């Protein structure tokens, strides 16, 4: 049983840092000046290396590698002491996954083994620990006892490597016996789906084991770290359940470890929004969301430019997380490139000056995008995670962001217990393997008046990926669904020909789309509409592309339904039986955005909480504290990554839903009371200027 540790500060939003202390940083680390700097930055909590890779105090444990530069110095104790005097919370961090080779040779049953019995090596002189071996199991307890015996500690953070694991199959004796006991079989040569599932079970067990180990040593909170992104497995859900606190990384700006011909890929700039919204919905406490201050990866020594760093961290602050800046190479005073530090100082000072905006706040979004882990897993197994799954869910995020419709990102597993008053509309992008329980929950919520917008082939894939009838189709007004068909075809007779969507120009879901044709790409599903469904969008005939003098449709419009709309006094649903997100990514036309944002607005009966015209690169999120509504605005205007300057926007109007006229509206950066008009449940607030990140706070009547 895990213990839940309660402390007042656990529920607060923090301004946080992590310091990677290397062995060579220990001798010259200036604790007093570092803590003074943190006070100037208004850091409220930080973590730092205490044990594992290296130990930053004089340990008595024979297996623990002490930092060579330490020379008897108790750096860990000095840091804890100085931080406590300054009122800053500290989390010593332990990363136990790596064993020095001489220790590994003395204790070979701690080490991950290849099939030939040799050690898995992390790097020269350092072996990789097996999660079932004594290094991670028994040594973790010894290290915790030593640390909690020496110091009064606020909490312990486990580095992700502590959960162990080798890159292939571990053939050590622990794994061999345990695999046989759990599955009745013997270890495979290569990772198989069965082995992956078993290994995931061991990971979960290790995460729980290390959390309980901390609680058994001292009544202090434990936090686990994870490198996780949307579309990966459900590790983050498990971590959120078993730890007092969760840290998740959004720090990868480029992924370029192999210096070869493969292109460097960029993470989406809005990854902090996505991750923070998802994880803060899973946890009871604000998660720490980590962004590096340096160029990741592999350039640890050059800083992210000021503007990029500030807006990256601001997206965490604006969405319910505690921003954490990941420093490298010791104290920031030892860092070779301090250029991103002013961004931390500015943002954390802003957060500290307006603590009432952040502490105890909750999302006030009225729209939720449903993330279905089973559908992600199916897409991963079929090698179409990016093209078949993420492109739909992230397309929906981007379109709602550009339209400034605040949304939450929620796990489908939470639908069963969701309160029907919480959201006005659910969006189901690529939820192809949605469970029957989740479908039943969507039906229940829809019957209570929650609008539903579904894309693609929702809930219709079985574990092998084949189409099956789903209870959700009936809710969406479809009788049957058929195999996917391409919009762009090529035939010997016509050459390539492209189909369009065509619409009636009357229904609210096509409002603002001036041309009767909409450019589209990817695949569509034939569906049979049930009686009484409105079909405002259909498939138009394919146009021959070449030769240009013959570029026309040779056939009449086939008119298959491309939007099924159910409009009843209580139930409102919109179903697009085609790859909306894929089409958006290919065409990138505002009409493609409008198909989704209009549908959400209509299905939510205009209960979308916020409206802002234009300024599509201003990211809006809406949060609430008792008696107050906070509209966070992050201005990411600017085309080139890295962003190197802010592009201020001026004189615009934000409309926010509030039942009665607010008592006052204040802009956090200036402290100014802003003029507003109020009518029919909406306050229209005039914002004179937005530079980078700001908050409009409404005092509600």
Binding positions for Zn ion, rule: CB under 5 A = 130, 170, 172, 175
In the complex with Zn ion, which residue's Cβ is closer, 199 or 253? Answer: 199
What minimum distance in Å lies between the beta carbon of 112 and Zn ion?
5
529: CB partners within 8 A, 6+ apart: 477, 478, 479, 535, 561, 564
What minimum distance in Å lies between the beta carbon of 495 and Zn ion?
58
Of 305, 287, 281, 285, the residue nearest 295 (C-alpha)? 305
Contact 563, 509 (CB under 8 A): yes
CA-CA distance, 70 to 480, in Å (whole number)? 70
What minimum distance in Å lies between the beta carbon of 175 and Zn ion?
3
Q: Residue 670: count other Cβ atoms within 10 Å of its Cβ.
A: 11
What DSSP state is assigned to residue 533?
-
Of 478, 482, 372, the residue nearest 428 (C-alpha)? 372
What minimum distance in Å lies between the beta carbon of 192 and Zn ion?
16
In the complex with Zn ion, which residue's Cβ is closer, 172 or 533? Answer: 172
In the complex with Zn ion, which residue's Cβ is closer, 69 or 97? Answer: 97
Contact 427, 396 (CB under 8 A): yes
Of 114, 677, 622, 659, the residue nearest 407 (C-alpha)? 622
What minimum distance in Å lies between the beta carbon of 250 and Zn ion?
31
In the complex with Zn ion, which residue's Cβ is closer, 130 or 690? Answer: 130
Element (H, E) at 117: none
What minimum distance in Å lies between the beta carbon of 394 and Zn ion?
36
CA-CA distance, 684 to 653, in Å (whole number)? 6
What minimum distance in Å lies between the beta carbon of 700 and Zn ion?
57
In the complex with Zn ion, which residue's Cβ is closer, 169 or 521? Answer: 169
What minimum distance in Å lies between the beta carbon of 133 and Zn ion?
6
What minimum distance in Å lies between the beta carbon of 130 and Zn ion?
3
In the complex with Zn ion, which residue's Cβ is closer, 187 or 431? Answer: 187
Contact 59, 122 (CB under 8 A): no
What minimum distance in Å lies between the beta carbon of 128 and Zn ion?
10
In the complex with Zn ion, which residue's Cβ is closer, 199 or 623? Answer: 199
CA-CA distance, 369 to 371, in Å (whole number)? 6
In the complex with Zn ion, which residue's Cβ is closer, 130 or 147? Answer: 130
Helix-strand-coil split of the chain, %, nearest 5: 30, 25, 40
What is the distance, to the nearest Å, from the Cα of residue 585 to the centroid of all Cα atoms in its chain? Answer: 20
In the complex with Zn ion, which residue's Cβ is closer, 130 or 521? Answer: 130
Helix locations, 530-645, DSSP H: 580-587, 590-603
φ and ψ of 676, to 5 deg: -150, 155
In the complex with Zn ion, which residue's Cβ is closer, 172 or 622? Answer: 172
CA distances from 614 to 210, 550, 587, 597, 655 (A): 49, 39, 20, 14, 13
CA distances from 349 to 43, 308, 461, 622, 669 (A): 9, 17, 49, 21, 11
What minimum distance in Å lies between the beta carbon of 170 and Zn ion?
3
In the complex with Zn ion, which residue's Cβ is closer, 96 or 170? Answer: 170
């Amino acid at each position: 049983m895990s213990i839940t540790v309660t402390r007042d500060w656990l529920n607060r939003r923090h301004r946080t840092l992590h310091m990677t202390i290397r062995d060579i940083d220990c001798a010259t680390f200036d604790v007093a000046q570092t803590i003074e700097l943190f006070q100037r930055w208004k850091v409220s909590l930080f973590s730092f290396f205490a044990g594992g890779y290296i130990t930053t105090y004089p340990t008595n444990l024979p297996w623990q590698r002490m930092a060579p530069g330490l020379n008897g110095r108790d750096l860990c104790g000095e840091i804890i002491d100085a931080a406590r005097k300054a009122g800053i919370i500290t989390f010593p961090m332990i990363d136990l996954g790596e064993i020095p080779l001489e220790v590994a040779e003395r204790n070979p049953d701690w080490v991950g083994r290849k099939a030939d019995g040799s050690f898995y090596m992390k790097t020269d002189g350092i072996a990789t620990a097996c999660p079932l071996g004594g290094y991670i199991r028994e040594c973790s307890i010894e290290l915790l006892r030593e640390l909690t015996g020496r110091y009064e500690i606020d909490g312990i953070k486990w580095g992700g490597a502590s959960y162990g694991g080798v890159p292939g199959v571990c053939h050590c004796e622990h794994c061999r016996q345990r695999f046989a006991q759990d599955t009745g079989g013997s270890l495979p040569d290569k990772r198989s789906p069965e082995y992956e599932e078993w290994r995931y079970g061991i990971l979960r067990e290790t995460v729980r084991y290390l959390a309980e180990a901390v609680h058994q040593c001292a009544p202090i909170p434990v936090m686990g770290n994870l490198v996780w992104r949307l579309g990966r497995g459900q590790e983050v859900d498990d971590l959120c359940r078993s730890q007092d606190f969760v840290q998740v990384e959004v720090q990868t700006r480029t992924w370029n470890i192999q210096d070869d011909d493969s292109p460097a890929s960029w993470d989406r700039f809005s990854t902090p929004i996505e991750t923070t919204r998802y994880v803060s919905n899973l946890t009871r406490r604000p998660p720490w969301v980590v962004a590096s201050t340096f160029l990741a990866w592999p350039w640890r020594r050059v800083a992210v430019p000021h503007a990029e760093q500030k807006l990256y961290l601001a997206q965490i602050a604006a969405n319910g997380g505690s921003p954490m800046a990941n420093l490298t190479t010791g104290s920031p005073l030892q860092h070779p490139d301090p250029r991103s530090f002013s961004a931390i100082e500015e943002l954390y000072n802003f957060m500290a000056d307006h603590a009432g905006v952040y502490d105890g706040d909750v999302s006030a979004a009225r729209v939720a995008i449903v993330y279905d882990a089973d559908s992600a897993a199916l897409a991963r197994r079929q090698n179409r995670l990016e093209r078949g799954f993420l492109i739909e869910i992230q397309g929906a995020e981007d379109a709602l962001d550009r339209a400034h419709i605040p949304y939450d990102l929620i796990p489908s597993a939470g639908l069963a217990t969701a309160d029907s008053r919480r959201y006005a509309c659910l969006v189901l992008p690529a939820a192809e393997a949605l469970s029957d329980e989740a479908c039943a929950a969507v039906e229940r919520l829809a019957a209570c008046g929650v609008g539903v917008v579904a894309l693609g082939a929702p809930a219709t894939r079985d574990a092998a990926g084949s189409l099956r009838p789903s209870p959700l189709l009936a809710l969406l007004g479809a009788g049957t669904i058929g195999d996917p068909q391409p919009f762009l075809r090529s035939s010997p007779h016509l050459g390539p020909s492209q189909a369009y969507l065509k619409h009636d120009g009357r229904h609210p879901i096509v409002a603002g789309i001036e041309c009767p044709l909409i450019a589209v790409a990817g695949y569509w599903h034939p569906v049979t509409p049930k009686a009484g469904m409105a079909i405002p969008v259909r498939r138009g005939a394919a146009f021959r592309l070449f030769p240009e003098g013959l570029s026309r449709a040779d056939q009449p419009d086939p008119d298959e339904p491309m939007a099924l709309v159910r409009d009843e006094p209580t139930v409102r649903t919109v179903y697009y039986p085609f790859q909306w997100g894929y089409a958006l990514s290919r065409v990138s036309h505002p009409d493609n955005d409008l198909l989704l944002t209009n549908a959400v607005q209509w299905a939510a009966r205009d209960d979308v909480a916020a409206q802002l015209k234009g300024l599509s690169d201003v990211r809006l999120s809406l949060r609430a504290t008792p008696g107050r509504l906070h509209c966070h605005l992050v201005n990411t205007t600017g085309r080139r990554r890295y962003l190197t300057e802010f592009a201020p926007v001026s004189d615009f109007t934000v409309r926010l839903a509030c039942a009665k006229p607010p008592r006052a509206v204040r802009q956090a950066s200036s402290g100014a009371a802003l003029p507003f008009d109020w009518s029919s449940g909406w306050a229209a607030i005039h914002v004179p200027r937005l530079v980078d990140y700001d908050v409009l706070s409404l005092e509600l009547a």
